[in-house]
Amino acid sequence: MTITTPLDQLSGDIWINGNFVKWQDAKIHILTHSLHYSGGVYEGERAYRGKIFKLEEHVERLQNSAENMLLKVPFNFYEIIEAHLEILKRNNIDNAYIRPLIFRGSESLNMSNKMLSSNLMIVAIPSLEKLQKDLNIHISKWRKPHPDALPPQVKSCGHYNMMIVALEEAKALGYDDAILLDWRGYITECTTTNIFFVKNNQLITPIADAFLNGITRQTIIKLAKELGFEIKEKYIELNEITNYDEFFLTGTSAEVKFVASIDINGNKKNFEENKITKLLQQEYANLVHK
């Protein structure tokens, strides 16, 4: 596979509602409810040398997301774990990006209808080595929804509607990603990653009350504490960013990535340092490959 191969042209098996379905046959009907109205929930996981990192945490979050979005999960925790292991083995992939998705079926276009099914699919896609490039980021004009509008700890497809818009806009303007602010104007996260700044031996990260408290974020906080760094979770305003020496992003897919510059309403701040980021990148790599 090359990076330009469209995903839907790969081969292998995809796990759908307890069955292995051939990649090319893994189709849904055009009336699929979650396609029209969003409403699905999903996870993004990674397997390293055949082992899925933090699998239990991801499956718990998936179940919790489904429960919050009033989607019945058609399988229990252990069945979902087992399905993950089977799909890796079946496709014989050691290093993979794994995507479970729970979605409503195509039985009705009513917003709510008793006939509507809830479905689970799990796919494992071979991981491609991504090179660290200089990331240049700006501030999106879009804000994270208020926690009363969409629960922030839920990995619901709904959250990604505006994340896609924010990312498309950032790219059209020549940036690699965008930071979203919350309704108060505090920094939250980028479109698929959490945010950390570094100053001296301290890591500064926003309080996760309006955005996803990522599994990688929690892992990095624990790792950094073990390494003796002080962690400060606080509300961060835009005008503080110029004080910080390093800036990095965390996520299951992104892992740990340093940011080269940020454009704050026309003022560019460059981050020349990435010593602590590099150390944490290495420690994270050691952990996931254990």
Q: Of the residues 22, 54, 133, 155, which is catalytic?
A: 155
Is the CB of 60 or the CB of 107 nearer to ligand PMP?
60
Q: Is 214 in the site for ligand PMP (CB under 6 A)?
A: yes
Residues 166-205 that bind ligand PMP (CB under 6 A): 189, 192-194
Please give the Cα distance from 17 to 19 (Å, whole number). Answer: 6
Residues 242-271 that bind ligand PMP (CB under 6 A): 250-252
What DSSP string runs through 236-283?
A: --GGGGGG-SEEEEEETTTEEEEEEEEEETTEEEE----HHHHHHHHH
Q: Which of 137, 215, 236, 259 touches ligand PMP by CB under 6 A?
A: 215
Task: Give the start-end residues of each E strand in 8-134.
Answer: 13-16, 19-22, 41-42, 45-48, 51-52, 96-104, 118-126
Q: Binding-site residue total for ligand PMP (CB under 6 A)?
A: 13
Please give the Cα distance from 173 to 166 (Å, whole number). Answer: 11
C-beta separation of 187 from 138 below 8 A? no
Q: Is 63 in the site for ligand PMP (CB under 6 A)?
A: no
Please give the Cα distance from 237 to 14 (Å, whole number). Answer: 44
Measured from each CB, the residue nearest to ligand PMP is 214
Taking the complex as a whole, the smallest distance from the CB of residue 17 to ligand PMP amounts, in Å, to 24
C-beta separation of 229 from 201 below 8 A? yes
Collapse the DSSP code of 34 into the 3-class scheme (helix H, G, I; strand E, B; otherwise coil) and give the result: helix
Residue 89 a catalytic site member: no
Is the CB of 140 or the CB of 252 nearer to ligand PMP?
252
Amino acid in position 24: Q
Is the CB of 12 or the CB of 152 nearer to ligand PMP?
152
- Interacting span for ligand PMP (CB under 6 A) from 132-140, 207-215, 229-237, 267-275: 207-215
Residues contributing to the site for ligand PMP (CB under 6 A): 44, 189, 192-194, 212, 214-217, 250-252
Which residues are marked as active site?
155
